[in-house]
Structure 1
Amino acid sequence: MGEWVENSWVWNLDWRRRLYEWEMEEVRTMQIIIDQNKPKRELHQGVLWKNKEVTSYPTTDIYATLNETLAPSIPKSIMSVVWQKFIPPRAQLTVWMAFKERLKTADFLVEKGVISVQNAGCPFCRSELETNSHILFTCRFAWSTWMEMLKWWNISAPLHMSFSNFSCQWLGLINDRKCKDIWALSLGCVIWSLWYERNQIKFDSKSANFHNFITSLKLRIGFWTKELMGYSGCAPNIIFNADSFLLRA
């Protein structure tokens, strides 16, 4: 990451792949920022937090401070969904990117000149421009997925189509404390699964098949519930009544 050159620190940033031109602009901006913060040999190096030296990074305190700083743009309830401990890290990152509308969808790639508008269609419906909200909510394929999840839980409710409002409403649909964690897990699982399915269609020439997708999604929710939440034998009946085979796999 860096080295001393004649008593001066020089940052050397190496990348695992060749960067796009639009990424180079971000790197240049970051370089300007980090060049203002370099180690100095004559000074004591340590970690300061709130004007006090600490021996380790106060992660919990930093998280709480950021949460206060960003509110109300990022409600605490949404942060708990994004970084919930019951979904894998790869899914956490996808949900976070989705909330920030930073998924590398086709509209973003068109704006950066990576692809043409002709290649920017939604891989599910093939009739609309692929955007963050479209691929996760407004596309018929995605919306049918959310409706299937409600049906699976025997819930009927109209849903918002913006991530923040949708997530808050989704969390409020279940009051049973036993099921709330699994209900929140299913939100993250659906978002990650839609994005994963989208990538398989675009990059692995897979065909969109709604029935197969829903089956694999339910299996994934069952697997995450068992492996990440520690359920053994039987999870709450509200989830697996309709598909008891999930816990036999």
Structure 2
Amino acid sequence: MALLGKWRWRLVVEKEALWNRVVEAKYGIHRRRDWEGREVKMNSSYWWKALWKLDKERGSDEGWMYKGVVKTVGEGNDTLFWHEKWCGDAPFRVKFNRLFRLAEDKDALVKNMGEWRNGEWIWKWSWSRELLGRENTLVQDLNKLLQGSKLEQGQQDSWRWKYESKGTYSTKSAYTLLKSSNREADTRRFSMLWNNKVPLKVSAFVWKGMQNRIPTGDNLVKRGIVGSNTDFACIFCGKQTETASHLFFTCDATWAIWHAAYAWWGLQAVLTCEGWKHLQQHMGMVRNKKVKESWYVIWFTIIWSIWLWRNQLIFKEGNDTPAMVLDLIKMRSLYWIRAKQNTELAKELWLVNPREACK
């Protein structure tokens, strides 16, 4: 992400470079680029798609890179008045959306929004109709905000990266920023995923599933392996397109398995359908330290067993029922815990009361 950020930076600050003009011709982008993510064509390169999804990866409304850049306006020859964040903490099209809708030229540069008179900059407004009382008040608020921004004749507009003293983007500063902002969450997730008592292939499968990288129906459609969403409905219910969230958490058939597994442990719960949060909530249901490790294994066992059940129905035309899958979950988890913890769990007690068996 930090390396991609370098290209995003260069895309904006090196507009006259040959490579930049080639990219402009290839993708048809506007010469005055901004930092906000945008929708790109499906046939674009992976690099180009990743470049414009960069900020969206962090789940932020603005994005880590968008918040890290600051526009220094000279004479306003390369800054979009309404669209760019150059004065204040948000673009004017967001902060003064009513005025933006009334502006005659919504793509105007800052230098086209006024004129120099005797060395002093004077703002000039052009609206699509006469303003009403409330709208005139908004113009006054806008003028007050603009008083803190002084334009300079003959000075070029430029960008500054606020996490470097020199103001130039560096992958090192971006890497440090990204690691510090998400280190705690990444460490906790890493521990939850890999420090457990299940086979490595199961942890690897769950890791891919968490990133939506397993061959569920929606991904097969996206990769062009099957024709459309209707060609790959959920094998269990046939009502919806098969997605990882639906397959493992919200389908009636798999929900019944979760419900039965929790009842086997003497528990009841209504959990989220988002993978990481589902695992976190699952872990929070048991407090006893002796029981917790085995309870942890149950979550991975259920996920793995649902996937095997799904594949059996698709490729082997199997006829296992949810009750049979639950029996397999009980036995798989028993063998995995015995093998990894080097302990002899009593099988008879485990099948009836697993919490007592762990104690």
Write the letter of the residue equivalent to 1:105: T
Equivalents in 1 of 2:345, 2:179: separation in Å?
40
Equivalent positions of 1:65-80 (< 5 A) are 68=179, 71=182, 74-80=185-191
Higher relative contact order (CA 8 A, sep 6+): 1
**1:175 aligned onto 2:287:** yes
Identical aligned pairs, as a percentage?
25
Q: Which residue of 2 aligns with 1:108?
A: 219
Write the letter of the residue equivalent to 2:329: L
| TM-score (structure 1 length as normaliser) | 0.65
Q: Which residue of 2 aligns with 1:141?
A: 253
Write the letter of the residue equivalent to 1:86: K
Query: CA separation of 1:69/1:93 partners in 2, compared to 1, >3 Å: closer, same or farther?
Result: farther
Q: Which residue of 2 aligns with 1:150?
A: 262
The answer to which of 123-132 and 67-76 deviates more is: 67-76
**Structural RMSD (CA):** 3.1
Name which one, 1 or 2, has greater alpha-carbon Rg.
2
Write the letter of the residue equivalent to 1:149: A
Matched-pair contact (CA < 8 Å) for 1:78–1:168:
no
Q: Which residue of 2 aligns with 1:164?
A: 276
Write the letter of the residue equivalent to 2:324: N
Query: CA separation of 1:107/1:226 partners in 2, compared to 1, >3 Å: closer, same or farther?
Result: same
Matched-pair contact (CA < 8 Å) for 2:264–2:352:
no
Matched-pair contact (CA < 8 Å) for 1:77–1:168:
no
Structure 2: stretches of 5+ with no match in the other structure? 1-44, 47-175
Query: CA separation of 1:104/1:81 partners in 2, compared to 1, >3 Å: closer, same or farther?
Result: same
Write the letter of the residue equivalent to 1:193: S
Query: CA separation of 1:73/1:97 partners in 2, compared to 1, >3 Å: closer, same or farther?
Result: farther
Number of equivalences: 183
Equivalent positions of 1:90-105 (< 5 A) are 90-105=201-216
Equivalents in 2 of 1:132, 1:98: separation in Å?
7
Matched-pair contact (CA < 8 Å) for 2:226–2:232:
yes
Q: Which residue of 2 aligns with 1:81?
A: 192
Equivalent positions of 1:1-249 (< 5 A) are 68=179, 71=182, 74-117=185-228, 118-234=230-346, 239-242=350-353
- Give, in angstroms, the shift of residue 207 of structure 1: 2.6
- Give, in angstroms, the shift of residue 85 of structure 1: 3.6
Query: CA separation of 1:102/1:231 partners in 2, compared to 1, >3 Å: closer, same or farther?
Result: same
| TM-score (structure 2 length as normaliser) | 0.46
